Amino acid sequence: MASTLSERGRKYASVGEEDLEFTVVRDNRYDATKNPSGIISLGTADNFLMHAELADFVHHKVAIDHHAFGYGQGSRGSIRVRKAMADHLNRYFQPHTPIPAEHVVFSAGVTAINDLVAWNLTDAGDGILLGMPVYGDFQKDLTARSGAEILYVPMQGVDPFSPAAIEKYEASLQKAESRGVHVRALWLCHPHNPLGQCYPPEALQAYMRFCHKHGIHLISDEIYGLCVFDTGDSAAIPFTSVLSFDPAGLIDPNYLHVFYGMSKDFGAAGLRLGCLVTRNDELLRAFGALSQFAWPSHLSCETAATMLEDVEWTSWLLHLSQQRLGENHGFVRQVLDDAGIRYHHGGNAGYFLWIDLSPYLPPATTGAGPMMQERVLAQRLLDAGIYLATGEKFASEEAGWFRVVFTHEKATLEEGLRRIAGMQRSRGESGIGSTKSHDTGVEI
């Protein structure tokens, strides 16, 4: 049948399938009692450790006025939530210049912020620099509507958290410009997703100088900024917001932007609230002109404002979250160590660990590259009842790396890890066999 859509619509229809989390996993989700053979998802960064506390707060503290059922105060978030968020960021991110409410605008999640900012900073064909590996959905968020091009920057063994990484960005920028691509922005995940590390101040300053040198925007996605926990490693880098630096001599403030929201530090992804923090008045006007297409719910704004205004509760919640994140992170590391599975060291933030399952890749077949082997392994994991996000999705330079999300109740997390660890014991000479794990009885 001939397509009923425009050329643009056909393009989106060809790539518009939902993530496996919301299709295959949703329809066969693990439950220890009702569906013990179902799929355990350690692939989506949702914090199940804090939902009970959030529900309790909303039940007892959030009073919704009847006005909240209207359009509210516009498509950029209520004045109340913008002020509450500005106060929160001033308290915890220690900006060099206090953030006024006017420099904070909301949308229906940070995904929408990515889309709106990419749309307003780039034209079709312009380039956006992203270091490898990196949060996988940037590919869709930043290009689906803007038409921009992602320029992945290979690190090739250089520490991405060091100033030395700038040489890699410089090379990628020069290569792009040599073929006529106008580079407009550099996006950072800080703390990093999927590596779970924070950038040290000297690296952040180097990124700022680099962007200033080339007249490009620096976007720092800081949604995990307060998900930093104690790992017992004295060398772990604490979080420092890019807002904490005096921009003089580093970068024009009009080229520096921060993303934040309620989904990670508060574990409230269901509120669908993300915000842009910027001193660029022109960007704020452009954002406002398009924000009606991702209008944040006034009910969510009222709920978030009540949370943020309760300074004592927020402090308690963040502390409890960091404690639980640290405990689960340590638990996963111990299981992986015992199973002989390698993982990226140095992480002390976020919801995840970056693990190396390359020893379990199936044998290469003629004409199939390493990432095809990784896809086969991911499918075998799914068939065995465990869903992980692949390294390919995160633009990994090497095949066989996966992101493991550990923000689950301990029993579910343990069962998921047992299924993964079972591979080490069931692996034959040529990779993962089709044997039974002695611990779980799950075919792997």
Q: Note the pLDDT tens digit of each residue in 49-77.
A: 999 999 999 999 999 988 889 888 889 99
Whole-number Å distance between alpha carbons of 306 and 81: 8
- Name the percent of the chain lying above pLDDT 70: 94
Encoded tokens for 233? 């490693």
Mean pLDDT of 232-250: 96
User: Of the ranges 6-15, 299-308, 360-369, which one carries the lowest mean pLDDT score?
Assistant: 360-369
Residues 185/128, Cβ–Cβ less than 8 Å: yes
pLDDT of residue 387: 96
The amino acid at 287? F
295 or 368, greater pLDDT: 295
Residue found by looking up tokens 């689950």 in the block: 408
Whole-number Å distance between alpha carbons of 332 and 407: 10
Whole-number Å distance between alpha carbons of 419 and 442: 7
Mean pLDDT of the chain: 92
DSSP lists the bridge partners of residue 143 as: none
Mean pLDDT of 424-439: 42
pLDDT of residue 366: 59
- Strand residue runs (E) in 200-273: 217-221, 256-261
Whole-number Å distance between alpha carbons of 124 and 352: 33
Whole-number Å distance between alpha carbons of 198 and 193: 10
Q: Residue 175 is inside which H or E element, if any?
A: helix 166-178
Mean pLDDT of 359-386: 88
Residue 443 has pLDDT above 70, yes or no: no
Whole-number Å distance between alpha carbons of 442 and 297: 43
The dihedral built from the CA positions of residue 354, 356, 362 and 363, taken in this order, carries a sign that is positive
DSSP lists the bridge partners of residue 258 as: 220, 277
pLDDT digits (tens, 9 = 90+) for 272-304: 999 999 999 999 999 999 999 999 999 999 999
pLDDT of residue 165: 98
Residue 423 has pLDDT above 80, yes or no: no
pLDDT digits (tens, 9 = 90+) for 257-272: 999 999 999 999 999 9
Residues 21/44, Cβ–Cβ less than 8 Å: yes
Residues 167/137, Cβ–Cβ less than 8 Å: no
pLDDT digits (tens, 9 = 90+) for 71-130: 888 899 999 999 999 999 999 999 999 999 999 999 999 999 999 999 999 999 999 999
pLDDT of residue 426: 56
Mean pLDDT of 150-177: 98
1 pLDDT band, cuts 50/70/90, is: confident
pLDDT digits (tens, 9 = 90+) for 298-357: 999 999 999 999 999 999 999 999 999 999 999 999 999 999 999 999 999 999 999 999
Q: How far is CA 104 from CA 77, 98, 131, 152, 328, in A?
A: 9, 12, 27, 29, 33
Mean pLDDT of 249-255: 98
